[in-house]
Amino acid sequence: MQVWLKTILASSVVLSSVATAEFTLDSRYQDADGDLIADIPTDATKLIDPDTLVFAYTPVEDPSVYADVWSEFIEHLATETGKKVQFFPVQSNAAQIEAMRSGRLHISGFNTGSNPLAVACAGFRPFTMMARADDSFGYEMEIITYPGSGIEKVEDIKGNKLAFTSETSNSGFKAPSAILKADYNMEAGKEFEPVFSGKHDNSILGVVNKDYPAAAIANSVRNRMVAREVIAEDQYNIIYTSQTFPTTGYGTAHNLTPELQEKIQQAFFSFNWEGTKLKAEFEKSGEDKFIPITFKEHWDVIRKIDAANNVSYNCQ
């Protein structure tokens, strides 16, 4: 079973004025309360209460790094739920979504752009994301190049290659596609050649190592890579910075029992970040706590980007 994303670029986009297209869930899910996410089944035979919970973090960077980063949170989650918890190092957004749709993934952080696809096609119920101490949140899409590439401004990408991450990524594909088309009259396959790296760290390293002349990336990933000294600030130039977008959304599969979903939510909000590997990693991008969110409110701008790009989801 596969989940397919269909993308057709619209002729123009002004995100503040674009009406969000009707968002519908796959027919296997219900949304009686109109919150745009799958309802928890009322039929007890359709609920699950697994002995082992499987957790995955979005494959934005090396999964082996994040298995360790999340280890203390995994222990806390196990204590709060009374379950065994296994970290699942997914390699792609498609694999992550398919795992939840097929019932093999119970708790997950889906990246910004794939959240709508996970909600529509996999029954994902997001309820939290990371934020800064003052409750502010989010990241910006950047277009970066390397010094001496000959690219000084966005228009210089014409006739060159631009690295995207994957079609499900907001900052790695959806947002730059809409912005380049609307503001610069530049479309992939016409004014520039698109290439796909698979992940943000691949795109960033590709630019730093001069494999790609330019790339569209999430600056939260870049900030963490600089803080870990994987890259240095003098190895790249930023030629475009977008508005702020919501970051990774965390949530559960829709068919976990209500009691278990409540325990999982409480585990996120009761986790003490101080002195943990999670804080050490994510404070590099300014994040140090979880805050409540709703897909309907916080992902409105992302659904507008999808509407501007004429994105539709075909869940199979």
In this structure, the answer to whether residues 42 and 187 fall within a common structural domain is no
- Name the 3-class secondary structure at 304: helix
Which residues touch 58 (CB under 8 Å, ≥6 apart)?
90, 93, 96, 108, 109, 110, 111, 114, 248
d(CA 15, CA 144): 22
Whether this model's pTM surpasses 0.75: yes
In this structure, the answer to whether residues 77 and 202 fall within a common structural domain is no
* Residue 13 pLDDT: 36
Which residues touch 16 (CB under 8 Å, ≥6 apart)?
none
Which residues touch 145 (CB under 8 Å, ≥6 apart)?
151, 207, 213, 214, 215, 236, 237, 239
In this structure, the answer to whether residues 91 and 148 fall within a common structural domain is no
Number of folded domains that form the chain: 2
pLDDT band at 285; cut points 50, 70, 90: confident
In this structure, the answer to whether residues 238 and 166 fall within a common structural domain is yes
In this structure, the answer to whether residues 48 and 150 fall within a common structural domain is no
* Residue 16 pLDDT: 44
In this structure, the answer to whether residues 239 and 251 fall within a common structural domain is no
**Averaged pLDDT, 187-203:** 95
CATH number, position 96: 3.40.190.10
pLDDT beyond 50 at 4: no
Concatenate the DSSP letters of all residues of 206-236 into one string: HHHTTSSSEEEEEHHHHHHHHHTTSS-GGG-
pLDDT tens-digit profile of 50-84? 999 999 999 876 777 899 999 999 999 999 999 99
Domain that holds residue 143: 139-245
**Averaged pLDDT, 118-128:** 97
